[in-house]
Amino acid sequence: MYHSLSVIIPTRNRRTKLLKTLRQYSKQSQPRNTFEIILVDDGSQVPVTEYVDPQAYAFNLKILRLQHHAGPAAARNAALKHANHDVIVFTGDDIMPTRDFLIQHVRAHNTHPDSHIAILGYLEWAPNLKVNSLMRHVTEIGGDFFSFFRIQDHHNASYKYFFTSNISLKRDYLMASRERFCEKFTGAAHEDIELGYRLEKYHGLRVVFCKDILAYHNHGHSLATAYRRQFIAGQTAVLFHLLHPEIFFDEYARFSQHSSSISWTLPRQFKDFHRRLEKELADARRNEFHSRIFQELEYRFFSEVLSCAFQSGGASKIRELSQP
């Protein structure tokens, strides 16, 4: 039987969101002596310890600090060295748990006790956010951020849904696998599913989706922030596929299916593309957002970053990162 949890939360420069999230853990139905929060300060400008006092919380709160920003992959790896409980929960500083969040993760692992099974929970936009059409698109139509609606088999969702916003797995399984997050990923994109891919390929990971394990994503988006996120995701997608070229072409083909309305001339000069895309974003902001705009922008991110990575001077650095 599984009883206790270690909750791992990387954070960086998000004081307000972090404090709101920590307050929600004070309201958990899970007994407070059966879980710990391991908070990793990923080189914040203002150290977390200046405004978070572990003694102020009824649960066990550990705070670690990375002196230099290294990314969520490195932060989670640091936390794993201090995780002592049966189940490890990966989540974020902008993910606000519902009251039964932790106890439902424990129950799910007792329902699915096999060591190789991970439990994926569900996310909704936080009730305090004004949900715009872009935010609806990226979760309900395009699935660009969280594509829960595309999960066909809830009992085997695949590594592609190893989302570290709301996922848990058995500590003994992860430790025995010796797999960790790849610290070549310094951004918050693809570093989670890349670990999921290795766990599935080499250690039989199976992701079970439990939609009733709900948390709220307290992070709104505009076209500008979505652009920045997708640009980073394009860069990390290149690294992912350089690390695992065996799955590259299947993924690229999926994007290519949408190329009918997009100019796919490769390679292009990346700076020219960047200026053109900024103009398109400015034009889009003046009009009501519709899904076609965002879909085309996303596919262009992927196309252009691939072009930049493999054809420009930046390619050598990314290839260097992909080496063992």
pLDDT tens by residue, 46-70? 999 999 999 999 999 999 999 999 9
Domain termination site, one of 202, 217, 232: 217
- Cα 31 off chain centre by: 27
Question: What span, in angstroms and rounded, lies between the C-alpha atoms of 125 and 123?
Answer: 7
Same domain, 162 and 253: no
Domain termination site, one of 217, 252, 273: 217
Same domain, 271 and 304: yes
Answer whether 29's CB lies under 8 Å from 59's CB: no
Same domain, 62 and 143: yes
Instruction: State pLDDT tens for residues 68-125.
Output: 999 999 999 999 999 999 999 999 999 999 999 999 999 999 999 999 999 999 999 9
Closest CA to 309 of 279, 265, 266: 266
Same domain, 194 and 233: no
Closest CA to 166 of 202, 123, 196: 123
Closest CA to 42 of 71, 7, 82: 71
Answer whether 103's CB lies under 8 Å from 161's CB: no
CATH number of the domain where residue 183 is located: 3.90.550.10
- Cα 272 off chain centre by: 30
Same domain, 203 and 160: yes
Closest CA to 227 of 134, 309, 312: 134
Same domain, 31 and 141: yes
Instruction: State pLDDT tens for residues 140-159.
Output: 877 778 889 999 999 999 99
- Reading the block at residue 136, the tokens are 């609806």
Same domain, 160 and 35: yes
Same domain, 207 and 274: no
Name the band, by pLDDT with cuts 50, 70 and 90, for residue 282. Answer: low
Q: For the chain, what is the domain count?
A: 2
Question: ∠ CA(212), CA(217), CA(222), 5° rounding?
Answer: 140
Question: What span, in angstroms and rounded, lies between the C-alpha atoms of 90 and 87?
Answer: 10
Beta-carbon contacts of residue 122 (< 8 Å; ≥ 6 apart): 148, 166, 209, 210, 211, 212, 213, 214, 215
Domain termination site, one of 217, 235, 254: 217
Same domain, 157 and 298: no
Same domain, 59 and 195: yes
**pLDDT for res 132:** 82
Q: Please provide the average confidence, as pLDDT, over all residues in the chain.
A: 82
Same domain, 239 and 206: no
- pLDDT at residue 277 greater than cutoff 60: no
| Whole-angstrom Cα Rg for the chain | 20
List the domain range (segments joined by +) for residue 127. Answer: 5-217
* Stretch 258-273: mean pLDDT: 39
**pLDDT for res 100:** 98
Name the band, by pLDDT with cuts 50, 70 and 90, for residue 252. Answer: very low
* Stretch 289-312: mean pLDDT: 48
Same domain, 242 and 194: no
The pair phi, psi for residue 123, each rounded to 5°, is -125, 140
